Amino acid sequence: MAAPHTPVTDLHQTRIECPGCEWRQLLDEDLHEGYTAELFAWHQANPAQGIDHLAAAEGLQCGVGVAEYVRWTDDGLGRLVVGDERTGQAGHFNHECLAVMESVHFTRGLTEAVQRTRRRLDCSRSQAAATVVDLAVRLYRKGLLVPAPSASDQPGT
C-alpha cells in the first residue's frame, strides 16, 4: 500500500488519486497527461486540498469556484484558455466552457452560463442547462473547479 499522500494513477493514465486521502481527479490531455509527477509534487505539498473530484458532483448544487491554481482567460475569440499552475501547462476549451468559468467566477453558479449558451446556440433552456452542467462537471472532475468555500452565502445555481 502506498504511503499517505503518495498519489497513484490508473493503468491508462486517465485519472490520478491519493490512497492516503480523498484526492482524485481526471487527467486532462493538455493540462495533465505526461505531467503526473508535477501533480504528485503539488499534492504532497498541499495535502489539505485533497478534494475528491470524481465523487458525485454534488458541489455543483451548492456552488463552485475556480481552483486557486487555475489561471484562465478569453482567448480573444470567445474561447477559454486555462493554465494549471500545478503542471505549468495550458489548454484551450470551447465557448461554453468560457461561459461556465465566467459564470462560476462572478456568481459561483451556472445560471449566467445557461443564459449565454441558450442565446449562442439558439436552443431551449433545458438543452442549454444540460450542456452547461455537463461541461461544468467535466471541468470539476479535471480539478479546475472546486466546491465553493461556503455554501451558506452562495447564490443558487
Give the global pTM.
Answer: 0.85
Task: Please state, for a pLDDT cut of 90, what percent of the chain lies above it.
Answer: 65
Core vs surface per residue 70-109: b (16+ CB within 10 A) or e: bebeeeeeeebbbbbebbebebebebbbbbbbbbbeebbb
Question: Distance between CA atoms of 112 and 37, rounded to whole angstroms?
Answer: 36
Average pLDDT over residues 65-84: 97
Q: What integer is the mean pLDDT of 49-57? A: 84
Q: Where are the domains of the chain?
A: 8-49, 59-149
State which amino acid sits at residue 130: A
Q: Please give the average per-residue pLDDT across 48-74, as a whole number.
A: 85
The arrangement of secondary structure in 59-149, i.e. its CATH architecture, is: Alpha-Beta Complex (3.90)
Confidence of residue 63 (pLDDT cuts 50, 70, 90): confident
> Taking residues 21-25, what's their average pLDDT?
89
Mean of per-residue pLDDT scores for the chain:
87
pLDDT class of 154 with cuts at 50, 70, 90: very low
Q: Dump pLDDT digits (tens) for 84-98.
A: 999 999 999 999 999
Q: At what angle do helices 95-107 and 111-121 cross, to 10 degrees?
A: 150
Q: What is the pLDDT of residue 99?
A: 97
